[in-house]
Amino acid sequence: MSEPLPISSSGHLVLVPWLFDWPSVGGSGAFDKTFDVALHLGTLVGIVAYFWRDVIAILAGLVRGLARRSFDRFEERLPWYIALATIPGAAFGAAGEGLIEGPLGEPALVALNLIGFGLVLLAADRLARHKWTLERLRSGSAFSIGMAQALSLMPGVSRSGITMTAALALGFTREAAARFSFLISIPIIAGAVLYKGFTTFVTGAGLPPGTAPQFVWGIVASMVSGFGAVWFLLRYVRRRTFTPFVLYRIAAGILVLAVVVARA
């Protein structure tokens, strides 16, 4: 549900149950994966609901560009920039799923990612020129942001955080960085929901009796919180820095490392 915020939703999905020793619902790790898919579906709906005008404009630009066989307008190039930024994350995600769910999901490593990439975000935010609007986006910068997005496959990095970091480093304003990050999240989350949903249900993972309401409320909650997080962040970054999110990441990372040491 925190996917739009630069604090790593995947990291929290690993760390929160680990910190509180929460058992898998129904004793099934497969069920947890299914519920994860439901939460991402809700987040996707919330983001699309916020950007529905942009989504229509992007699709219209794609159709218009293909019909004219010309992409001289930014609206006609933007769909291709989004696709270009999506490819690296999709490719790395499909290739490294086992690694992501295994060694990269260790709590100590997740905590280090929270701290380390939080500091990288802070540096980019402080040192960036904050000059370019989204209309200055080009294929090279879109692909660079996409390569950065591939790093977010490691829990604790944060998909939105690393893509905003890359965009800031390239000279874009905070608002432009956040907007492009959200736009490229739509195909990457949609792809993850389809892929994980298909692979999860093919393995026969069903819903334990009585858990259907949890799924419904999980989807609704993630949809509302996803919409609210996008609304909040786009307004917040127009006048403020990413420092509070970085401080939260550092504090959360230190807490987790302290618990790791205490449990050793």
Instruction: Read off the pTM.
Output: 0.89
| Termini Cα distance of the chain | 30
Q: How many CB atoms lie within 10 A of CB 17?
A: 13
Task: State the greatest distance between any 2 C-alpha atoms of the chain, in Å, as a whole number.
Answer: 64
Taking only Cα atoms into account, the Rg of the chain, rounded to an integer number of angstroms, comes to: 19
Q: What contacts 94, CB < 8 A, 6 or more positions away? A: 195
Give the whole-angstrom CA distance, residue 142 versus residue 180: 9
Confidence of residue 102 (pLDDT cuts 50, 70, 90): low
Average pLDDT, the chain: 87
Cβ(118)–Cβ(249) under 8 Å? yes
Which residue, chain included where needed, has tokens 């962040």? 233
pLDDT higher than 80, residue 203:
no
Asked if 162 contacts 148 with a C-beta cutoff of 8 angstroms, the reply is yes
Q: What is the mean pLDDT of residues 208-232?
A: 85
Instruction: Please report which confidence band the pLDDT of residue 98 belongs to, taking 50, 70 and 90 as the band edges.
Output: low
Residues 59, 237: Cα–Cα separation, whole Å = 27
Half-sphere exposure of 13 (CA within 13 A, CB side): 22
Can you give the pLDDT at residue 26?
Answer: 47
Assign residue 24 a region (left: φ > 0; alpha: ψ between -120 and 50; beta: otherwise).
beta
